[in-house]
């Protein structure tokens, strides 16, 4: 596999990994937890999902052919309470990721050096993918952190559980070396 195709495959897997972390967090919470704000002027999980949804639809709709900041996007409204029911939050979550995958999955290695624009600022497709991967992982981290605050001792770890690193490493180092993506065990 050439490096460009490897990059596209890896980026797609990483997006799916972060989608999975967010969804596994949401699934652990009581419905009211989606609307919990940890402090004044902070965002609830529902607000973060609204923002991700708006960003994803704007960035990934007509990804190669139109500016990533769509004229129809109302970014400031993404930070106001719109979704008021858990099923509305989940629909936004799913629709945002669906839009992203619809744009990312058909990309070919030769697309990576094409120039796309976000707010009239040109960047390669590769740079735009990296930009969004970082942005989404930042917000998914916020979702996970809020989930951990809410669940406290009943939190089900989404990675190596606290105080289990040695056991985890022992299992890993007892296996044969093999080429695999770091998300393989998390996307089962």
Per-residue pLDDT of 29-64, as tens digits, reads 999 999 999 999 999 999 999 999 999 999 999 999
3 state DSSP class of 134: helix
Q: Do the beta carbons of residue 146 and residue 38 sit within 8 Å?
A: yes
Q: Which CATH superfamily is domain 3-157 in?
A: dinb family like domain (1.20.120.450)
Per-residue pLDDT of 80-128, as tens digits, reads 988 899 999 999 999 999 999 999 999 999 999 999 999 999 999 999 9
Return the sign of the alpha-carbon dihedral for residues 49, 89, 85, 36.
Answer: negative
3 state DSSP class of 122: strand
Instruction: Give the model's pLDDT for residue 12.
Output: 97
- Residue ranges of the domains in the chain? 3-157
Q: Do the beta carbons of residue 52 and residue 96 sit within 8 Å?
A: yes
Q: How far apart are CA 138 and CA 134, in angstroms?
A: 6
């Amino acid at each position: 596999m050439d490096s460009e195709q490897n990059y596209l495959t890896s980026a797609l897997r990483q997006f799916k990994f972060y989608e999975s972390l967010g969804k596994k967090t949401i699934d652990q919470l009581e419905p009211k937890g989606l609307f919990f704000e940890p402090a004044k002027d902070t965002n609830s999980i529902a607000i973060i999902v609204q923002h991700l949804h708006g960003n994803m639809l704007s960035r990934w709709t007509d990804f190669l052919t139109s500016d990533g900041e769509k004229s129809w996007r109302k970014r400031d409204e993404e930070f106001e309470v719109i979704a008021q029911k858990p099923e509305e939050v989940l629909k936004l979550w799913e629709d945002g990721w669906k839009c992203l995958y619809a744009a990312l999955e058909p990309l070919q290695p030769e697309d990576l050096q094409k120039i796309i624009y976000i707010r009239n600022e040109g960047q390669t497709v590769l740079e735009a993918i990296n930009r969004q991967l970082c942005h989404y992982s930042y917000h998914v981290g916020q979702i996970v952190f809020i989930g951990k605050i809410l669940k406290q001792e009943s939190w089900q770890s989404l990675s190596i559980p606290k105080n289990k690193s040695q056991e985890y490493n022992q299992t890993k180092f007892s296996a044969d070396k093999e080429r695999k993506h770091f998300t393989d065990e998390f996307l089962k």
